[in-house]
Structure 1
Amino acid sequence: MRIRRGSRLAAAVTLVLAALGCNEGLPTRPDESPVLVLGEAVTVNGARGSEQVYRLTVPEGGGKLRVLMAGFTGDADLAVRYGAAPQPTEFDCASQSSFPVEECIFEAPEAGLWFISVLGYTAFSDAQLSASLLPQVGERALVSGVATTGLSGSSGDFEMFRITVPAGTDSLVVALDATGDPDLYVDFELFPLLNDYTCASFTETGSERCMIRSPGAGTWIIRVDAYLDFSAGTLIATVYPGAAP
């Protein structure tokens, strides 16, 4: 589960450290940490209880920062912090799920030095760790019941959309149909991650659907993710004041 800034940060990392048998926090080795280069993946392997720290330089005005670790066997977790190595009560994002993918996204990252910790919850191998800058483009606004057509993407790409849901709504239904294999992620007021969302649909077909009962009033963010290349995509988000059909 991704832990976002300001919510259960200390508790989440403390649980990870306890599971790893660590009592004094994550070690800080800013001068010895290997460098992670934007746009270049590194392979990380580790034993249960291991911790490896990388440092990353983010330029001024570079866009959104995405840190991704995927493709591994075993169970590894991720923690990211600006300016210093992550500690139990001091980090900006922690991602700890049982899936072979961990992800952190910062919409307005500070320029300078960032530190990324990879924690071995169990032994793990072949984790592909990368960091990239995404264009600083806002989410495309959707109108309830109106289709957005012509969507496409190459494997690894994603695009963001948003829809406003009024108070008292019975349900929000988001449907995606395409040729190829896109996936669908939906979250309330926050950027959906691959391992942290309110609803996700990732079948092996080009048809994905999310239904959220009694959605909160406000902005819902929709992520269309290209698991594999896809084209001819149509996205429809519909707000139902009464029961959805």
Structure 2
Amino acid sequence: MSDAPNYGETWVYESIVGALPGVNFGERGAIALQIAIFETAVLFFAWVYDLWTAALAGTAAIVVAAVGSVVMLRMGERTRAAAVPTPYRRLLFGSSIEVVLGILAFVALVTHLFVFDPRQSTTPLVTVLFGPDPPIVVVYLMLLILWDLCYRIGTSWWAAVVGLWGALRYRFDEPTAREMRRVNLLNVGFGVTQVLLVPFILDQPILLLAVSGHVVAVTVVSVTAAALIRT
């Protein structure tokens, strides 16, 4: 009998990796492959187009997304292993709201980069990173990495909200309460790693406010959820 979780009880990221026929990388293998593909592409195009400043920003985003992948897997494993009520699990995993939140974050970011920022700045962030005539393939790679990052940020938002709702709605036995506190604190850890992005957006007040606000909000909500869990 398989120990694999049922689909509908996983993040979309887990479902995609687990559903690929004939592919079984395992958790570490999937994350290592994710890092290797993205980082190799970033370094290759930085070498081809001499975009080493952009490569630093891309590497920071890849590291944060990779940490997000690890945190997502750990949060998923701990939540499924804990004796949480079925509605809690269904809301967290089965609704796929994290994808919707990730899309909203990604669309807002693309709108900022290509519409808002060029109207507000003589040298937009895209120009700072990639020059006045950005290579198409590099922009494609940038958007792919940003989507990967935004999806994990959306997952972090949703996990924080559901964690707080569960803490207010349910009482848990002591082992389950202990696990759910750890899940909430894992989410705080992922939020803190996003500070790595700050050096690249210091002259972008909107992005700086968005990233800082997200980190603070997730930290406050997740810590509050951990503190309010009742036994």
Band of TM-score, shorter chain: under 0.3
Of Structure 1 and Structure 2, the greater helix share is in: 2
Of Structure 1 and Structure 2, the greater strand share is in: 1
Greater relative CO, 1 or 2 (CA 8 Å, sep 6+): 2
